[in-house]
Copies of this chain bind each other. A is one copy, B any other.
Amino acid sequence: MITLKELAKQLEVSVSTVSKALNDSTEISTPTVEKVKSLAKKLNYRPNKIALSLKSNRTLTIGVVIPDILNRFYSKVLDGIHDAADKNGYDVITVTTRESITKEVDSLQILSSGNVDGVIIAMSEETLNKNDFSHIKEFTMKETPIVMFDRVTDKINCDKVIIDDFDAIYNEVKSLKQLGRKKIGFISTINDLNVGKYRANGFRKASYDFLGKFDKNLILKISKDLDKHFKIQKFIQKNNPDAIISADILCGVISINIARDLGIKIPEELSVVGFGDKTISEYSSPKLTTIYQHGSEIGNRSFELLIDRMHSRWFGLEKNTNSFTTEIIPTITLGGGSK
């Protein structure tokens, strides 16, 4: 690693002269500046980020804590965060919790040792289930700003970015009604999480509002381990719905496949819509109509909220420290032929 000291030695000037020259200080004569810069370039000098950080108390690095990097939604958000961070000259340290509260606590510890300027987090399922946010609260007491997305709680005061889960499904039911659908089923896999609850609530409310009644038999709750294929088949045969909304994308695709096997025409006899991702919707034929969550936009906005906090802290604009934003990112329905 080539340092200021090294440059100074070779040029036989002092370290501070080199430093000033590289920073275009008016104190240094033009010839000296050029000499310094040329050697710096030749030796490919890069200022040591660590030393800079120690001095400035800013690392230009943020931390991201997510439950699972393999989950398509989270990797999309992560991608969006990377995008925004990159544009603003920030590095990103990612930590995954694998839905474990213990790992989440550890992760926040790691990010509490001064190596990041801010944190973006989606809490683990276990954290949400246990309703134990002490580690997060503790973290918010420190000077490092934090932004939460998707997996969120009212118990913590900070900026948040969430999806409009309730409205998304509510509007979808409305839209299906307009297509003439009368018996709409809802398949949910993520029962314990708020996200799942919001969606279920949206479905119930919409059922009352648009179909005049709510039949709880039309909600199929599937735990992750069970044989989805079998349960979905039974569900379709028993209830004979003319539309299905799936809270995740896999069950949406499976529904299409099953319906085809049962000789049900899609979309003529059955509309299928799923929450999820455009890319993955290609995996069925006809392609699944998807309620698209703007993952990358959620990432973008999260970073923007975070950088606002960080800057206001450093530059003293003190963005009202006690008032926080909760940003709601709308979903959008992308046609895929199955609706």
Q: Which residues of A contact B (CB under 8 A)?
A: 1, 44, 46-51, 53-54, 57, 59, 61, 69-70, 72, 75-76, 78-79, 82, 86, 91-96, 109-110, 112-115, 138, 142-143, 250, 253-254, 257-258, 260-261, 279-280, 282-285
Contacts and interface: CB of A to CB of B under 8 A. Distances in A.
20 contacts: A46-B114, A48-B113, A48-B114, A49-B114, A51-B54, A61-B115, A69-B75, A69-B78, A69-B79, A70-B76, A70-B79, A70-B279, A86-B95, A91-B115, A92-B93, A253-B283, A257-B284, A257-B285, A260-B285, A284-B284
A61 B113 contact: no
Contacts of A114: 1, 46, 48-51
A114 B258 CA distance: 55
Contacts of A110: 91
For this chain, the copies found in one complex come to: 2
A171 B44 CA distance: 48
Contact of A250 (B50, B59, B282): B282
Contacts of A53: 50
Contacts of A75: 69-70, 75
Nearest to A249: B283
Contact of A254 (B48, B72, B261, B282): B282
A261 to B, nearest CB: 7
Contacts of A261: 285
B54 A113 contact: no
The 9 lowest CB-CB distance pairs between A and B, nearest first, are A283-B283, A257-B285, A49-B113, A48-B114, A46-B113, A49-B115, A50-B53, A50-B54, A253-B283
Given A91-B95, A91-B110, A257-B284, 18 more contacts: A1-B114, A46-B114, A47-B113, A48-B113, A48-B114, A49-B114, A50-B114, A50-B115, A69-B75, A70-B75, A70-B279, A82-B94, A91-B93, A253-B282, A253-B283, A261-B285, A283-B284, A284-B284
B250 A46 contact: no
Nearest to A114: B48
A258 B286 CA distance: 10
A142 to B, nearest CB: 8
A227 to B, nearest CB: 11
A112 B282 contact: no
A94 B92 contact: yes
A44 B138 CA distance: 10
A28 to B, nearest CB: 23
Contacts of A258: 285
Nearest to A2: B142
Nearest to A141: B44
Nearest to A115: B49
Contacts of A142: 1
Contact of A93 (B48, B93, B280): B93
A1 B280 CA distance: 44
A82 B69 contact: yes
A91 B65 CA distance: 12
A97 B144 CA distance: 28
